[in-house]
């Protein structure tokens, strides 16, 4: 398998539901911006609403960092609206819910589960140049943690703006980073 890290995000044009409206979202909408794509299997399921609500709890923080959030499933934008209108958890969502019924995004990011027609749980951070900087894919039976995802996003933004520095394990904003050099070899 080829890694998606530092590869260009796929080109796309999809329908979305956000703020009570339908809209079109394209790859041009993310040019020059940080974008977080949060794939999940399907609307009206069990683990998905818990994850999407958890991500909503971090939405203002992510927006404050200059990161736009897009949830993505293979459901239509009509189904997204119906779920939003009937679920208390999903009714809280402020970020765009992208509809990917043709699996353009799901296949493009390598998370499409062909035998079921749904996406695996995948989280991808795309930088302003359109390159994937963070990728996490897991089985659909395992929910994600928005706190840890935000920590990784903060680290990605930090290293993007601090050339030559890297973030060690469990790095939190304000903690020390490392500057790889011959002087560090064998000292960590």
Instruction: Please report whether residue 166 resides in a domain.
Output: no
pLDDT band at residue 182 under the 50/70/90 scheme: confident
Token pair in block for residue 13: 């044009």
pLDDT tens across 111-162, in order? 999 999 999 999 999 999 999 999 999 999 999 999 999 999 999 999 999 9
Give the rounded distance of the alpha carbon of 114 from its chain centre: 21
pLDDT band at residue 47 under the 50/70/90 scheme: very high
**What's the pTM value of the predicted model, to 2 decimals?**
0.95
pLDDT tens across 55-110, in order? 999 999 999 999 999 999 999 999 999 999 999 999 999 999 999 999 999 999 99
Instruction: Please report whether residue 165 resides in a domain.
Output: no
Token pair in block for residue 24: 């079109």
CATH number of residue 77's parent domain: 3.40.30.10
Give the rounded distance of the alpha carbon of 133 from its chain centre: 11
Number of domains in the chain: 1
Domain containing residue 132: 13-144
Instruction: Please report whether residue 175 resides in a domain.
Output: no
C-alpha distance from residue 52 to each of 41, 64, 78, 164, 177 (Å): 12, 18, 18, 34, 31
Q: Which residue has the tokens 């079109």?
A: 24
pLDDT value at position 66?
Answer: 98
pLDDT tens across 14-33, in order? 999 999 999 999 999 999 99
Instruction: Please report whether residue 127 resides in a domain.
Output: yes
pLDDT tens across 86-101, in order? 999 999 999 999 999 9
Catalytic position from the list 4, 14, 48, 90: 48
pLDDT value at position 79?
Answer: 98
Instruction: Please report whether residue 187 resides in a domain.
Output: no
Instruction: Please report whether residue 124 resides in a domain.
Output: yes
**Mean pLDDT of all residues in 2-8:** 94
pLDDT value at position 138?
Answer: 96
Q: Give the C-alpha separation, 89 to 78, whole Å.
A: 17
pLDDT value at position 149?
Answer: 98
**Mean pLDDT of all residues in 158-181:** 92
Instruction: Please report whether residue 26 resides in a domain.
Output: yes
Torsion angle in degrees (nearest 10) through CA of 160, 164, 169, 172: -50
Instruction: Please report whether residue 180 resides in a domain.
Output: no
Q: Is 48 known to be catalytic?
A: yes
pLDDT tens across 32-45, in order? 999 999 999 999 99
């Amino acid at each position: 398998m080829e890694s998606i890290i530092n590869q260009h995000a796929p080109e796309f044009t999809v329908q979305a539901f956000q703020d009570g409206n339908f809209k079109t979202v394209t790859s041009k909408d993310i040019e020059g911006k940080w974008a977080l794509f949060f794939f999940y299997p399907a609307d009206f399921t069990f683990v998905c609403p818990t994850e999407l609500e958890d991500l909503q709890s971090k939405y203002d923080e992510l927006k404050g960092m200059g990161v736009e959030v897009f949830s993505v499933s293979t459901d239509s934008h009509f189904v997204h609206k119906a779920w939003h209108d009937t679920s208390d958890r999903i009714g809280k969502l402020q970020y765009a819910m992208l509809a990917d019924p043709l699996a353009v995004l799901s296949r493009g990011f390598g998370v499409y589960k062909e035998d079921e027609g749904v996406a695996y749980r995948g989280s991808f951070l795309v930088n302003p140049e359109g390159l994937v900087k963070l990728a996490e894919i897991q089985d659909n039976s395992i929910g994600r943690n928005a706190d840890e995802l935000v920590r990784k996003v903060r680290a990605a933004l930090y290293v993007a703006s601090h050339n030559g520095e890297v973030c060690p394990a469990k790095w939190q904003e304000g903690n020390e980073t490392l500057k790889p050099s011959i002087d560090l070899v064998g000292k960590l």
